[in-house]
Structure 1
Amino acid sequence: MSAPVPPSYKDLGKSSSDLLSKDYPIHGTSLEVKTTSFPASFKVAGLRDAKSAAITGDIEGKWVDPKNGVAITQAWTTSNILRTQVELENQIARGLKLDLLTALNPAKNQKSALVTAIYKQPSVHTRATVDLFKGPTFTADAVLGRAGALVGAEATYDVLAGAITRYAGAVGYSAADYSVAVHALGNLSAYSASYYHRINSDIEAGAKAVYDTKSTAGGVNLEVGAKSYLDNSAFVKASNNAGIVGLAYTQALRPGVKASFGIAIDTQRLNDQSGSSNHRAGASFVFTN
């Protein structure tokens, strides 16, 4: 039996991050509609911000050709940004994926283009990205895995400056029901440690601690959270991050229809009448055919 492919560098500690931040629709009211008619799929999403009342959204279409390993995605946002992504997988070499992501804002004459190569094999997951218009810069990362142990590193090289402008590293361990990860970020100026544990089939728990040597506040910021499945169609989540308590409830109303409700309470400013507290609430509705 061959060794599994480890996660990408950006996904180290993902289980903990998803537990602590995902499914908390606290920034306003959002609606997402997804439809699929193979080989095409479409998505329309919108968000009404709770504080500014501004409405943002995008429409996206995706076409896939599994036989030839090709996927093309095009999107148009309410900010008049046009995004195009072209993916080619397992055609040049087994385990190699090429990705071209472009964005264009005609009104502001802004453009970007990222070319990414991803190579995955048992025990290794590597990525290399070139930002053609910014720098240009070259970013590479790699994760090596063996028997659950993970070691990863990332670095960005500015071609014009001729110097490494950013670097980071991480170590972790992943098992069937728990995982841990430690990151050294910001050119080794900030450190984070995350933990995720699936206690049983109904309860998940996680925590993340962050220490920034450049922070004027000092100390360690600790975030903890838990998720409990009420049944096969509903779950609740709770978290605490620096006194901000988050509560969320997600319910599958019927096949293809999901509703989520969330609230964040600033426990340090419960009686604040100035409007500067971080109390927030929102809801999310997702329709999928």
Structure 2
Amino acid sequence: MSLPQPVPPSWKDLGKSSNDLLGKDYYFQTTSLEVKTKTPSHVTFKAAGLQDNKSGAVNADLEAKYADFKNGLVFTQGWTTANVLKTQLELDNYLAKGLKLDVNTSLNPEKGNKGALLNFIYKQSGVHTRGALDVFRGPTFTADTVFGRDGFLFGAEAAYNVTEGRVSRYATAIGYNAPEYAVTVHALNNLKTFSASYYHRVSPDVEAGAKAVYDTKATTPGVALEVGAKAYLDSAAFIKAKINNSGVLALGYTQALRPGVKASFGIALDTQRLNEIAPSGPTHKVGAHVVFES
């Protein structure tokens, strides 16, 4: 008798280990601040703001979240400096075990722009299925499914435009997840863009990964390649580094200053143009991110 299979990752999380290693904790394009507080009644408040280092534009948002974990209910209300009101309602295991319903709405009262996205997520042993209906764009229905068995993963995604009566987007992926490493291959954008990612936990303190992307419709021929690594200096600090085939080197450093306070710093250097002024110029970039949480 075979053992029950674990729930596989969702479609958007295929290759997540590699994507997080190469994409997260590199704050070299913005300077940002995030403050989180939580009340005893399970209400969480978050205020976040960032400044684009190139344009100087400042964007911020204020968010309040209420969670009733006993009944699987999460309600979130947000307001941005662009005067957009965002509301999210999540119901987990409310109607059926393994089923999660998620309703996202947005409204800009000044411009009259509105959006509504209805999501459902169903998770069981060996399968992870999601569906989403974008009410005002199309409307468009998107569905994806990932099957998993003994570490092997197979996933597919398709989007259907209800008004036009056609499949507007489709993609597929295969992968393998092990405790120490993961490999994923995607065929995206109607099978016109192909990517392969690899993640390896070399030791408890060192991680490495790589990603290659080939776009058949790109104006620049060839494969875009990026490799990176992460090393924990101690339990409160780690450094990250990555470089791509264009010669852009990115470095990141994250330090937990004290419980609830974390600071991250990043820099991106074009190694082919190191003699062009300072990191604050257009060639090189620096940034920082600070989080306060209580």
Aligned to 1:288: 293
Aligned partners of 1:13 and 1:104: how far apart in 2?
33
| TM-score normalised by L of structure 2 | 0.96
- Secondary structure at the aligned position of 2:17 is classed as helix
- Secondary structure at the aligned position of 1:199 is classed as strand
Q: Which of residues 144, 149, 154 in structure 1 aligns to 2:152? A: 149
For 1:249, the aligned partner's letter is Y
Measured against aligned partners, the alpha-carbon deviations of 1:209-248 in whole angstroms (never above 9, x if no partner) come to: 0000001211000000000000000000000122110001
Q: Which of residues 243, 251, 258 in structure 1 aligns to 2:255? A: 251
Whether contact under 8 Å (1:83, 1:102) holds in the other structure is yes
- Secondary structure at the aligned position of 2:203 is classed as coil
Aligned partners of 1:203 and 1:7: how far apart in 2?
23
- Secondary structure at the aligned position of 2:195 is classed as strand
For 1:284, the aligned partner's letter is H
Measured against aligned partners, the alpha-carbon deviations of 1:246-277 in whole angstroms (never above 9, x if no partner) come to: 00110000111100000001122223469984
- Secondary structure at the aligned position of 1:223 is classed as strand
Aligned partners of 1:125 and 1:28: how far apart in 2?
35
Whether contact under 8 Å (1:266, 1:277) holds in the other structure is no
| TM-score normalised by L of structure 1 | 0.97
Identity among equivalent positions (%) equals 61
Deviation (angstroms), 1:28: 2.2
Aligned partners of 2:101 and 2:252: how far apart in 1?
37
- Secondary structure at the aligned position of 1:10 is classed as helix
How is 1:1-289 mapped onto 2 (pairs within 5 angstroms)? 1-37=3-39, 38-241=41-244, 242-272=246-276, 277-289=282-294
Aligned partners of 1:23 and 1:148: how far apart in 2?
28
Aligned partners of 2:83 and 2:109: how far apart in 1?
7
Aligned partners of 2:176 and 2:14: how far apart in 1?
9
- Secondary structure at the aligned position of 1:101 is classed as strand
- Secondary structure at the aligned position of 1:92 is classed as coil
- Secondary structure at the aligned position of 1:16 is classed as helix
- Secondary structure at the aligned position of 2:75 is classed as strand
For 1:215, the aligned partner's letter is A
Q: Which runs of 5+ in 2 are unaligned?
A: none
Aligned partners of 1:111 and 1:154: how far apart in 2?
25
Q: Which runs of 5+ in 1 are unaligned?
A: none
For 1:73, the aligned partner's letter is T
